[in-house]
Amino acid sequence: MSVFMLLALVAVFSVAGYILCRQRALKGAAATGQKLHSLPNYYGWYGFVMASVPALLVLAVWLIAQPLVIERQLSGFFPPEMIEDDAARTLLFDDVRRVAAGLDVAVAQGALTEDQAANIRTEFGSIRDRLATVGVALGAEVTPPVLQAAQDYREMSHIGALGRSILTVLLSLGGLALAIRVTKPAFRARNRVEQVVLALLILSSTIAILTTVGIVLSMLSESLRFFTMYPAADFFFNLTWSPNFRGNSELGLLPLLWGTLYISFVSMLVAVPIGLFAAIYLAEYASPRFRAIVKPLIEVIAGIPTVVFGLFALVTVGPFLRDYFAEPLGLGNSGSSVMTAGIVIGILNIPFISSLADDIINAVPQSMRDGSLGLGATKSETVRKVVLPAALPGIMGAVLMAASRAIGETMIVTMGAGAAAKLDLNPFEAMTTITVKIVSQLTGDTEFNSPETLVAFALGMSLFVITLGLNILALMIVRKYREQYE
Amino acid sequence: MSDATAASPIPTAHPRGKSSLFEQDALTRRRNAAETRFRLYGLTAIVVSLVVLAIMLFTIFRDGTSAFRQASLSFPITLDAAILDPNGNRAPEDLAKVTTIGYGNLIGQQFANFLAAEGIAVEGITDRDISGMVSRDAPGRLRDMVLANPALIGQTIDFTAYATGRIDGYLKGRVTMETAQLDSNVSVEQLQLADLLVERGILSVAFNSGFLTNPDASDQRPESSGLGVAIIGSLYMMVLVLIFTLPVGVAASIYLEEFAPKNRLTDLIEVNISNLAAVPSIVFGILGLAIFINFAGLPQSSSLVGALVISLMTLPTIIIATRAAIRAVPPSIRDAALGVGASKMQTVFHHVLPLAMPGILTGTILGLATALGETAPLLLIGMVAFVTNYPAGPLEGGVLDPATALPVQVYSWASRSDPAFIERSSGAIIVLLGFLVIMNVAAILLRRRFERRW
C-alpha cells in the first residue's frame, strides 16, 4: 500500500472517529440524562486525534528508519573493503537502489513477472539490456552482488511496506476504538484535546531551535570531514585560494575573508553616512507630510530583491565605474570590482540603517532636546551634541547589524565583485568573497567527497560564526542602551 | 585660577550696544551656516538614495520593456511531402524520423524562395545568411505542428517564426550596422535585408506572450526563451511556503505569546528566532543541500526543496509579525472571554486569533514577498539548472520535478554572454517586481480595510 493510500485511510478513520465519538457522547447524554462535560465537538475532536496522531507519528518514524535499517542489513552482501570508503559506499547503494527501482518498473510494465524479478541471475543474460527494454537506463552492467542486494532490497522494502501499512492501520483503528470506549458524558474531552493542541503549539515553536541545530550540525559535520582531508591550519592561514578539481588545491580562507571585509567596508562607507543623515533629517527636520511620503519610498529599496541590485551592479554601476573612474585613473579595467559591489551593497543597506537609526533617534526623550534648545543651541548642535551621543549605542548596534548583512550578502557580490581571490588594496580590482566561493563550489554537479566541494561547508561555518558574532554583539549593545531610558 | 579670572575681564563675545536681533554677529552667522549645511546634508542623503533608486528602476525598465516585444517573420511555407514524409504513408513513426535539421533546411529554402519570388533582394547576401535570420527554434516548432497534425503535409501554411536575437536587437536598436561588422553572428547584409522586410511587413515587432509562457532556451536562441517554467516554479514554491509557514508560524507565535512560561526553554526559543532572522540566506541554502538533498534524498532542483528552505528562512519573519499582531489585541478581550468561562485555549482560538488575523495575514504576505525575491539559497539546491520541461501539475507530483524560480532565472540569464539575455533578464525583473507590487498592495489594502484602533 502506498504512503498516499495509507494517509488517505488514516484520514478516513479520523473523520469516522470524529463522527462516531461525537454521536456517542450525545447519545450517552440523552440516554443517561447526564450533562456533557465538554461541548460535543470536543468529543469528536478527541476521536479524530486518537485515530490520527499516534498512527501518523509511527508512520513518520518508520519512513525515516526503514532505509537506514535496510542499508545496514545489505552491507553484509559486500566485502568490507568495498564499503569502507564513504564515497564508494554511497555510490554502491545508489546502484542497488537504481537496479531495484528498475526491477520494480519492469514488473509494473509486465516485462518480468514478480517471480522472475526475485530470482533473475546475472548468469542468464544481461540485466542491463532487459531493463533497457522497459526504459530503465543503467550506467554499467550489473554485478552479481549488486543484483542480489537489489533483490533483497526489494524484498525487504516489500516486507517493510507491509509492516508499515499493518502497523499504521492497526494503530489508527486501535486509537479509534479506545476513543469510542472512553467517550462518556463525564469524560473530560476538552481538557484532553487542549493538551494535544498545546503539545502541537510547543512542537511548532521548537522548529526555530531545530533549524539552528540543523544548520550547526550539518555544517559542523561536513566541515569536520573537510578538515580530515585538508589541514585546518592551512585553511585558516594559507594566503592562496586556488581550488583544483584534480587535487592539490590550495584552499586558504584569508584572501576570501579579505575580499569580504574590504567590500563590506566600502559598503559601510556608503550606507552609514547616507543612512544616518537620512534618518536624522527624517526624524528631526522633516515635516510630517514629507516624512509620510519619503520614508516609505526609501523603504522600497529594502523590498527590492537583491538579484535586482546584482543586475544593476553588473549592467550599470560596474561599467560606469570602469569607464569614468578606473580607466582614466589607470587603476584597472575590470567592470566587476570591490567598488562596484561595495557601493551597491551600500545602497541596499541605506534603508536598513536609516529605519533602524530613525527608531533609535525617535526613542531619545524629547526633554533632552528641549533642554539643549532651551540653552540656545541650534537644532544641528542639539542633534550632534545631545541626540547622537545619546543614541550612539543603538546606532552602533544598527551599524553592526548592517555590517553583518553586508558580509552575508551573496547575489550582489556574485554578480558584481568578480571571482578572482586575491589580497590587493586597489578597490577597482575584482576580488571575491566567502559567499561567492560557497556558490561557485556548490553549484553544478558536485560529489560530496572532495575537499574542493566540502570546503564550502567550512566557508559557510566561518560565515555563520562571523555574522552570528556581529549580531549578538549588536543585540548586546542595543539591549544595554535600552536599559538607560526604560 | 582666581588670579586669572580677576586679571582678565569677562570676555565679551557680544559687544554691548551693537547687539541686535536683526543684525547677526559673526558667530551666529557661522552657527546658522552650520545649521543650514547640516540640514542640507540630510536632504542630500535622502535625495541621493531616491535618485539611485530611480536610476536603478529606470535602467531596468529601459532594458527590460523590450523583452515583452519580439521581432518575428511571417511567410508562407509549403510543407513538401517529399521531404517531410518520404514514404508517403503519413505514419507517425515515419514522420518522426525526419529531424529538425530536415525541417530547418525546408524553412530556410522556402524563406529564400519566398523572398526571391517577392523580388526582395540585397546585393551580396547568401542563402545561408537569409535562412540564418530565422530563429533556430522555428524548425522544432514546425515539426511539433506537423506531428500533431499530419494533414498539414502538402499544404501551404502561413508560418510565423521568431527572427534571431540579433535581428530582433537591430529592430530594437541594440544592434547597429557598426556593431554588425564586428559580430560574427550577424552580417550587414542581413540587417539591410531586415530593413526591406520591415518595409514589406514581413518582419515586424509585436507583443510576445511567449516571454511569459515559453520555457528557457539555450544560449543560441535567446529569442525563444521565456519565463514559463520559472513562473510555475515560483508559484509552486510560494503556495508550499504558505502551507508550511502559516500554520507553524501562527502556532509558534500563539505558544510564545499566550502560553509560554518564563523559563530557559522559552528564552532559548526567543533568542533563536531573532538570530535566525539575521542568518545570511546562503547559510539556509547550505542547510537545504545538506539535509533535504543529501540526507533526506529529496530531488535536486525541485520546488519542494526550494519551498522547504525558504520556509525555514521566512518562518522567523512570520513569527515576529504574528507575535506583534497577537500582542496588539488588548488584554480586555482575553479577560472578557475568560470571565464568561472560556478556557484559555478557547479564548485564544475563538477571540484573540480572529482579531489578530488581518495583522497576521499582512505580515505573512510581506514575508512571502521577501521570499519570492530570494535567490542565493536556491542556487545551492540546484534551481539554477537549465530546465526546458514544464513541471507536472501539482497533483501529479509536479513539486518534485526540476524547476527554476523567477529571481534565479534573472541570475542565470544575466550570467550568459549574449547581450540579448540582459534584456530578458531585465524583463524577468519587471515581471518579478510586478508580482511584488501586487503582493505589497494586497498587504496594504488588507491593513487599511481591517485596521482597528482599540
| Residue ranges covered by each domain of chain B | 69-208, 228-450
Across the interface, do B375 and A274 touch by the CB < 8 Å criterion? no
CA A458, A462, A465, A471 torsion: positive or negative?
negative
Lowest mean pLDDT among A139-148, B197-206, B362-371: A139-148
The answer to whether position A12 is within a domain reads yes
Closest Cα partner for B373 from B407, B411, B412? Answer: B407
Residue A184: is its pLDDT beyond 70?
Answer: yes
Closest Cα partner for A216 from B290, B427, B392? Answer: B290
Q: Which chain A residue lies closest to B381 (C-alpha atoms)?
A: A443
Across the interface, do B282 and A305 touch by the CB < 8 Å criterion? no
Percent share of chain A, pLDDT over 70 = 90
Mutation for B interface: A205, A277, A293, most B CBs within 10 A? A205
Q: State pLDDT tens for residues A352-378.
A: 999 999 988 998 899 999 999 999 999
Lowest mean pLDDT among A96-105, B295-304, B384-393, B410-419: A96-105
Kindly state whether residues A244 and A149 are assigned to the same domain: no
Residue B126: is its pLDDT beyond 70?
Answer: yes
Find chain A residues with C-beta within 8 A of B372's C-beta. 305
The 3-state secondary structure of chain B reads CHHHHHHCCCCCCCCCCCCECCECCHHHHHHHHHHHHHHHHHHHHHHHHHHHHHHHHHHHHHHHHHHHEEEEEEEEEECCHHHHCCCCCCCHHHHCCCCHHHHHHHHHHHHHHHHHHHCCCCCCCCHHHHHCCECCCHHHHHHHHHHHCHHHCCCEEEEEEEECHHHHHHHCCCCCHHHHHHCCCCCHHHHHHHHHHHHHCCEEEEECCHHHHCCCCCCCCHHHCCCHHHHHHHHHHHHHHHHHHHHHHHHHHHHHHHHCCCCHHHHHHHHHHHHHCCCCHHHHHHHHHHHHHHHCCCCCCEHHHHHHHHHHHHHHHHHHHHHHHHHCCCHHHHHHHHHCCCCHHHHHHHHHHHHHHHHHHHHHHHHHHHHHCCCHHHHHCCCCCCCCCCCCCHHHCHHHCECCCHHHHHHHHHCCCCCHHHHHHHHHHHHHHHHHHHHHHHHHHHHHHHCCCC
- Which residue among B255, B343, B374 places its CB closest to the CB of A202? B255
A375: Cβ–Cβ under 8 A, 6 or more apart, which residues? none
The whole-angstrom separation of Cα B240 and Cα B391 is 15
The answer to whether position A214 is within a domain reads no
Across the interface, do A275 and B45 touch by the CB < 8 Å criterion? yes
Lowest mean pLDDT among A176-185, B10-19, B156-165, B219-228: B10-19
Across the interface, do A205 and B256 touch by the CB < 8 Å criterion? yes
Across the interface, do A311 and B316 touch by the CB < 8 Å criterion? no
The whole-angstrom separation of Cα A269 and Cα A262 is 11
The answer to whether position A213 is within a domain reads no
Find chain A residues with C-beta within 8 A of B414's C-beta. 310-311, 314-315, 415
Across the interface, do A380 and B35 touch by the CB < 8 Å criterion? yes
User: How close, in Å, is residue B397 to chain A by CA atoms?
Assistant: 12
Across the interface, do A215 and B283 touch by the CB < 8 Å criterion? yes
Percent share of chain A, pLDDT over 90 = 45
Q: How confident is the model at residue B1 (pLDDT cuts 50, 70, 90)?
A: very low
- Which residue among B32, B256, B380 places its CB closest to the CB of A442? B380
Query: What mean pLDDT comes out for the span B259-276?
Result: 88
Q: State pLDDT tens for residues B184-194.
A: 788 888 888 88
Across the interface, do A201 and B259 touch by the CB < 8 Å criterion? yes
Q: State pLDDT tens for residues B350-362.
A: 999 999 999 999 9
Kindly state whether residues A254 and A184 are assigned to the same domain: no
User: How close, in Å, is residue A19 to chain B by CA atoms?
Assistant: 21
Q: Which amino acid makes up residue B164?
A: T
User: How close, in Å, is residue B46 to chain A by CA atoms?
Assistant: 5
- Homologous superfamily (CATH) for B228-450: MetI-like (1.10.3720.10)
The answer to whether position A388 is within a domain reads yes
Across the interface, do A471 and B275 touch by the CB < 8 Å criterion? yes
**Of the residues A204, A222, A254, which one is the last residue of a structural domain?**
A204
pLDDT at B77: 85
- Which residue among A204, A275, A456 places its CB closest to the CB of B255? A204
Cell of A95: 546502484
The answer to whether position A84 is within a domain reads yes
Q: What is the CA radius of gyration of chain B?
A: 33
Q: State pLDDT tens for residues B2-38.
A: 444 445 555 555 555 556 777 778 888 999 999 999 9
Q: State pLDDT tens for residues A86-125.
A: 666 767 777 777 777 777 777 777 767 777 777 776 655 6
Across the interface, do A408 and B373 touch by the CB < 8 Å criterion? no
The answer to whether position A337 is within a domain reads yes
CA angle B404, B405, B407 (to 5 degrees): 130
Residue B214: is its pLDDT beyond 50?
Answer: yes
Closest Cα partner for A272 from A383, A355, A354, A382? Answer: A354
- Which residue among B39, B52, B279 places its CB closest to the CB of A467? B279
Mutation for A interface: B29, B37, B47, B49, most A CBs within 10 A? B49
Q: What is the DSSP letter of A315?
A: I
Query: What mean pLDDT comes out for the span A1-18?
Result: 88
The whole-angstrom separation of Cα B445 and Cα A2 is 44
Residue pairs spanning A and B at CB distance below 8 A: 252
Q: Which chain A residue lies closest to B427 (C-alpha atoms)?
A: A308
The answer to whether position A267 is within a domain reads yes
Lowest mean pLDDT among A217-226, A345-354, A477-486, B325-334: A477-486
Across the interface, do B272 and A208 touch by the CB < 8 Å criterion? yes
Kindly state whether residues A243 and A316 are assigned to the same domain: yes
pLDDT at B2: 47
pLDDT at A482: 65
Find chain A residues with C-beta within 8 A of B59's C-beta. 312, 315-316
Q: State pLDDT tens for residues A428-480.
A: 888 999 999 999 888 766 677 788 888 999 999 999 999 999 988 988 887 77
Closest Cα partner for A421 from A244, A223, A219? Answer: A244
Cell of B258: 499566550
Q: What is the DSSP letter of A84?
A: S
The answer to whether position A75 is within a domain reads yes
Kindly state whether residues A175 and A272 are assigned to the same domain: no
Across the interface, do A205 and B281 touch by the CB < 8 Å criterion? no
pLDDT at A484: 61
Find chain B residues with C-beta within 8 A of A273's C-beta. 45
What value does the mean pLDDT of chain A take?
86
Find chain A residues with C-beta within 8 A of B37's C-beta. 380
- Which residue among A222, A297, A305 places its CB closest to the CB of B50? A297
Q: State pLDDT tens for residues A253-282.
A: 999 999 999 999 999 999 999 999 999 999
Closest Cα partner for A470 from A413, A376, A393, A401? Answer: A401
- Which residue among A222, A316, A411 places its CB closest to the CB of B290? A222
User: Where in the sequence is the domain holding A171, given as residue range(s)?
Assistant: 3-204
What value does the mean pLDDT of chain B take?
86
Across the interface, do A311 and B410 touch by the CB < 8 Å criterion? yes
- Which residue among B260, B276, B414 places its CB closest to the CB of A311? B414
CA B248, B253, B258, B263 torsion: positive or negative?
positive
Across the interface, do A273 and B45 touch by the CB < 8 Å criterion? yes
CA angle A254, A259, A265 (to 5 degrees): 120
Find chain A residues with C-beta within 8 A of B29's C-beta. none
Find chain B residues with C-beta within 8 A of A414's C-beta. 376, 411
Find chain B residues with C-beta within 8 A of A443's C-beta. 379-380, 382, 384
User: How close, in Å, is residue B210 to chain A by CA atoms?
Assistant: 22
Kindly state whether residues A65 and A115 are assigned to the same domain: yes
Across the interface, do B252 and A471 touch by the CB < 8 Å criterion? no
pLDDT at A483: 55
**Of the residues A184, A204, A224, which one is the last residue of a structural domain?**
A204
**ipTM, interface predicted TM-score of the complex:** 0.88
Residue B273: is its pLDDT beyond 60?
Answer: yes
Find chain B residues with C-beta within 8 A of A410's C-beta. 280-282, 375-376
Across the interface, do B255 and A198 touch by the CB < 8 Å criterion? yes
In total, how many domains does chain A have? 2
Mutation for A interface: B279, B370, B426, most A CBs within 10 A? B279
